[in-house]
Amino acid sequence: MGDGSQVLMTRSEIKADLEEGTAAAASRAKVAPLTDSELDHLLDLYASPSRFTGVDVGDEVVLTYDGSGSKTVATRTQDLQIYEQMFGADTVELGTADYSFKAVKTILGYEAQTMRDAQLVLTVPLHYGAMPNLGLYSRPDGPVPNWSELLPLGRIEEARAAQQEAVEYAVKDMVQVADAMWEAGADALDFDTAGAAGDADFLATLKAVEIIRARYPDLGIELGMAGEFVLGMHGELEYEGVRLAGLWPADQMRLAARAGATVFGPAVTVHTGKSCAWNVARALTIVKPCVEEAVIPIHMNVGMGVGAVPMSNYAPVDAVSRASRACVDILRLDGL
């Protein structure tokens, strides 16, 4: 299930969930449902009693990892080495526990020093990752009025003005962190869970990416989303003439590429009350147009609570490996 709990289902029940999941996504996102052959393949994967599955030999993709350098078992640099040397990670990522650019700014010298030192002992590419996290700029955590308090009061214009002000603060912080990380030798930046606070959050990320790309043409930039749909917390914000509220992954990807991202990460959140089969069919249906129209590599978010991986700290490997293979097999992704 989407919460990680085990459930016993018949093949026909799994088939029904797959069909229901793709239909739900097609209706909601106004995209085509998965084809019969795609659903048949998913049925074979999810009806199999095997504990583990994987892509065909030769079909492997590049993996990016948020949280790989987060001081889980050793120092952060040692954790990165564990991912590189023991887990076979294609790339790794340094980050801090308070995974937000605003928080990073206050310890930027320390973070940049860690980046520099880690680069000396690693061979695989190293990202620096954090979240735009626009909510941190609102009171009581930040300087601008809290739009989540203003909106229920009907103070729409004040709420919008507050978000626009927060965008400017966030862009400044993201660019400042990028400057320091480039100077410290970072291979790439990962803007994780962009759009988490809605369209203003996504706009801030796009504006920051545009500035950073202009400054550093050789810096990798991964822009990963928070969810499948950009919430219209402001409702009227645009980037290059495109209204951000309500965008689905294909349109998000186009703007990310236009801003200067080199990798885009679509995210589809998991319904914890539905089966993994239902969730994978829904996720793949929503992301499929994005991959078909991609102009940059697509690394779908297939982690805890997104991309048909259960919302659990201890995800079962049968569920994760099935989601991993299904995304690659059906979507022909560039990475995860």
Tokens 């095997």 correspond to 50
User: Using CB under 8 A, which of 83, 128, 147, 229 touches another protein?
Assistant: 83
From the list 41, 29, 19, the residue with the least C-alpha distance to 266 is 29
Cα dihedral sign, 227-34-252-292? positive
The site map against another protein for 199-218 (x = CB under 8 A) is -------------------x
**Which listed range, 51-59, 171-179, 199-207, 282-290, lies at the site for another protein (CB under 8 A)?**
51-59
Helix (H) or strand (E) holding 39, with range, is: helix 36-47
d(CA 247, CA 216): 28
Helix (H, G, I), strand (E, B) or coil at 265: strand
142 or 303, CB closer to another protein? 303
Q: Which residues from 139-198 bind another protein, rule CB under 8 A?
A: 182-183, 185-188
**Which listed range, 132-140, 168-176, 238-246, 311-319, lies at the site for another protein (CB under 8 A)?**
311-319
Is residue 146 within 8 A of residue 138, CB to CB? The reply is yes
**Which listed range, 105-113, 202-210, 269-277, 315-323, lies at the site for another protein (CB under 8 A)?**
315-323
Q: Least distance (Å) from another protein to the CB of residue 43? A: 18
**Rg (Cα) of the chain, in Å, rounded?**
20
The site map against another protein for 84-123 (x = CB under 8 A) is xx-xxxxx------------------------x--xxxxx
**Which listed range, 52-60, 133-141, 162-170, 242-250, lies at the site for another protein (CB under 8 A)?**
52-60
Q: Least distance (Å) from another protein to the CB of residue 293? A: 12
- Residue 314 makes contact with another protein by CB under 8 A: yes
- Residue 9 makes contact with another protein by CB under 8 A: no
DSSP E strands, 103-178? 126-130
Strand 263-265 to 220-225 pairing: parallel
Is residue 174 within 8 A of residue 190, CB to CB? The reply is no
Q: Least distance (Å) from another protein to the CB of residue 226? A: 18
Residues with Cβ within 8 Å of residue 68, at least 6 apart in sequence = 79, 80, 83, 89, 92, 93
135 or 265, CB closer to another protein? 265
User: Using CB under 8 A, which of 44, 60, 292, 293 touches another protein?
Assistant: 60
User: Using CB under 8 A, which of 54, 109, 143, 246 touches another protein?
Assistant: 54
Q: Specify the long-range contacts of residues 69-73, CB closer than 8 Å, at least 24 apart.
A: 69/93, 69/94, 69/95, 69/118, 69/126, 70/95, 70/96, 70/97, 70/99, 71/97
68 or 138, CB closer to another protein? 68
CA 40, chain centre distance (Å): 28
Which residues contact another protein by CB under 8 A? 52-55, 57-65, 68, 72, 83-85, 87-91, 116, 119-125, 182-183, 185-188, 218-220, 222, 257, 261-263, 294, 296-297, 302-304, 309, 314-317, 320-321, 324-325, 327-328, 333-336
